[in-house]
Each structure stands twice: as C-alpha cells, then as structure tokens.
Amino acid sequence: MKAIVQDRFGPPDILRLADIDRPEPGAGQVLVRVHAAALNPYDWHMMRGDPYAARLTAGMGLTRPKSRVAGLDAAGRVEAVGAGVRGLRPGDEVLGFCTGAFAEYATTTPDLLVPKPAHLTFEQAAAVPVAAVTALRGIQTVGRVRAGQRVLVNGAGGGVGTFAVQIAASLDAEVTGVCSARNTDLVRSLGAAHVVDYTREDFTGARARYDVILDNVGNHSLSRLRRALTPTGTLVGNAGGSPGRVFGAMGATLRLLAAGAVARQRLRVILPAVPSGPAQEDLRAVVALLGSGRLTPVVGRTYPLAEAAAGVRRVEGGHARGKVVLTVR
C-alpha cells in the first residue's frame, strides 16, 4: 500500500511516499481503508521529535520515530475486522482515531471509531476527531461554559478554534472570536457575536472581560490573559509549543497550573485529544452535534497523500484556515 513514511526526526522534507506492507487486523482490531486523513499540530511535533522532553515518552521514540507512518485523524470504510470485534463490519463508513492514518490502510480499535454522518464528505469527517474533541473538552468539559456567559476563543479561525466557536454558540454563550482579518467573516458565520482582528487590536488590553477564555495560540503572557478574565473567570490553555524548544509547552503548562493553585480564577490546561481516555464518548457527543446541524467542519485546504509534506508545512506555519486534510484515493 501507499503510505507517508519517515525514518528520522526532522523538517517536512523527510516525509516521503513509499510502498509498504498493508497492516492486518489482530484480535480486537479493525482495518480501515482510509479515504481522508486530517493534519494536526500533533503530527509535526511527532515529525520533528519536538519538544525534546517528549522523546522520553513511550509513543515518540528517543533517537528516531517509533512509528514510521504518522497521522491520527481518519475517515474511511471498514475493510476487515479481527476476532472478537462486534458492531462493525466491512463497508461501514467510520471516522475516528487511527494511528498511522497517512496511508491507504490503518488499524485501530472499535472504541476509537464512530459511524460517519451520512451528510459529511470523507474530507469533512476526517477533520473531526482531534480538533473537535479538543474543542469539546476545552469549552464544555473543562471550561464548563453555560448559557449567557461571555466566552472568548483565541485562534478562532484554526482547526480547534472553528469547532470551539460553534460549540460555545450551541450552548447559548456570547462568543468572541479572535482571528486574522481574512477569517472574520468565517468566524461570524460560525456563531461568534463579536470578532477581534488580532492584527489591529489586542483583546487583553481592551475593557471587555470574559467568563471563559480558550487560548489556542499562546501568544499572550499569563498576566495579560488573566487581566481579560472576570475575577472568577476560567482560562483554558490548549497546550502547544514550537519546534526547537527543549520542553515545548510543558514549562508554560506547569506555570499555568502553579498559578491556578493560588488564584480565584480557574486556570486549566487541556492537551490535544489523542487516542486515550473517553475518546468514543467524546466522539459520539461531537457526532450528535454534527447530526443536529449545530457543528460543521471547516476544511480550509486539501492535499493529495503524496503532498503530505506541503500540508504539514502549512499546519506548522500556524495560520491554516480551519483544517488541512489529505485525500487518500
């Protein structure tokens, strides 16, 4: 099968299209024929081995990638199921977390898949898992957003941000989206009552105060973000980081948690959704929002599988509109 592989850590140029053996589902596994796979910041962190401290974890690898094929978000059809799998059969259209999604086929487990809504294209469906579940956890699970609250989403035009604006609006919150000028109309169309063009205005210096801030960017100091909160407001930091840093977002995360231990304001951190925890429960909650029409994936750009390096480069640049998706045919 065709797959995007990497044999060492480095920039997008190390990614190459290759023929490798098709995986076979073991007991309790599902083989998915991938039709589309979305790109996430998680992917370029894994590609570069960044931050360095993360190489000590089991999933990344110390000197070279543990997994030659990257990718987590996938949408496609069930090709085969292993022994003991119930509720799925070949031909079923699914979306979910599939490690090694940048390939024609990938294996996963049934608990990481949900049925694909019929009205979504495979490209739209692939955009859902990591970004939508991260947004759901940031707005609803951790942020505890309620009707009538003032909610600000920093990075509202990106993958997580476009989902977060819609989820907060579906909870009847008054949403402010912070984005670039080219995304203001998009963010308004997603349900934001107010839009701030960050190239012209710094929301942390304005007079407005927010009950909940979801920060997907990390371009403001903790003190300035807290200044934009109400005295008992909640700041939710979406952990990220930049290539070349030893600890990436880990240092900022620890500072946020330490400050939260003594502040009246709630200071919390969410990690990007990966295949762990209540993944299927969150996926089903997201699919319910998709089915009700309250949530729509925003796919800003698609690339063929062979041009995965260009797609990763676009996501790594930090200014992608909505989600970037690879089409796999």
Residue 242 pLDDT greater than 50, yes or no? no
34, 98, 113, 285 from 201: Cα distances, Å = 42, 40, 41, 35
- What is the pLDDT at residue 255? 55
13, 65, 278 from 68: Cα distances, Å = 14, 6, 26
- What is the pLDDT at residue 218? 87
Residue 260 pLDDT greater than 80, yes or no? no
The answer to whether the beta carbons of residues 233 and 212 sit under 8 Å apart is yes
Who's near 30: CB < 8 A, 6+ residues apart? 78, 80, 81, 82, 85, 88, 94, 107, 108, 109, 110, 113
- What is the pLDDT at residue 61? 54
Q: Which residue did the predictor score with more confidence, 116 or 14? A: 116
Residue 58 pLDDT greater than 80, yes or no? no
Q: Give the model confidence (pLDDT) of 36-52 as tens digits.
A: 999 998 886 777 666 55
Based on the fold, state whether residues 265 and 323 are members of the same structural domain.
no
Residue 245 pLDDT greater than 70, yes or no? no
- Whether 283 is in a domain gets the answer no
- Whether 277 is in a domain gets the answer no
- What is the pLDDT at residue 47? 75
Based on the fold, state whether residues 29 and 83 are members of the same structural domain.
yes
Based on the fold, state whether residues 110 and 123 are members of the same structural domain.
yes
Residue 60 pLDDT greater than 70, yes or no? no
Based on the fold, state whether residues 66 and 146 are members of the same structural domain.
no
Who's near 306: CB < 8 A, 6+ residues apart? 2, 17
- Whether 258 is in a domain gets the answer yes
- What is the pLDDT at residue 68? 85
Number of structural domains found in the chain:
2
pTM of this structure: 0.90
Based on the fold, state whether residues 107 and 141 are members of the same structural domain.
no
- Whether 284 is in a domain gets the answer no
Based on the fold, state whether residues 185 and 225 are members of the same structural domain.
yes
- What is the distance between the terminal CA atoms of the chain, rounded to a whole angstrom? 11
Domain span holding position 70:
2-128+297-327
- Whether 230 is in a domain gets the answer yes
- Whether 198 is in a domain gets the answer yes
- What is the pLDDT at residue 264? 79
Based on the fold, state whether residues 124 and 135 are members of the same structural domain.
no
For a pLDDT cut of 90, what percent of the chain falls above it? 74
Based on the fold, state whether residues 118 and 41 are members of the same structural domain.
yes
Based on the fold, state whether residues 262 and 304 are members of the same structural domain.
no
- What is the pLDDT at residue 247? 38
- What is the pLDDT at residue 306? 96
The answer to whether the beta carbons of residues 12 and 18 sit under 8 Å apart is no
The answer to whether the beta carbons of residues 307 and 143 sit under 8 Å apart is no
For a pLDDT cut of 70, what percent of the chain falls above it? 85
- Whether 92 is in a domain gets the answer yes
Q: Give the model confidence (pLDDT) of 290-316 as tens digits.
A: 999 999 999 999 999 999 999 999 998
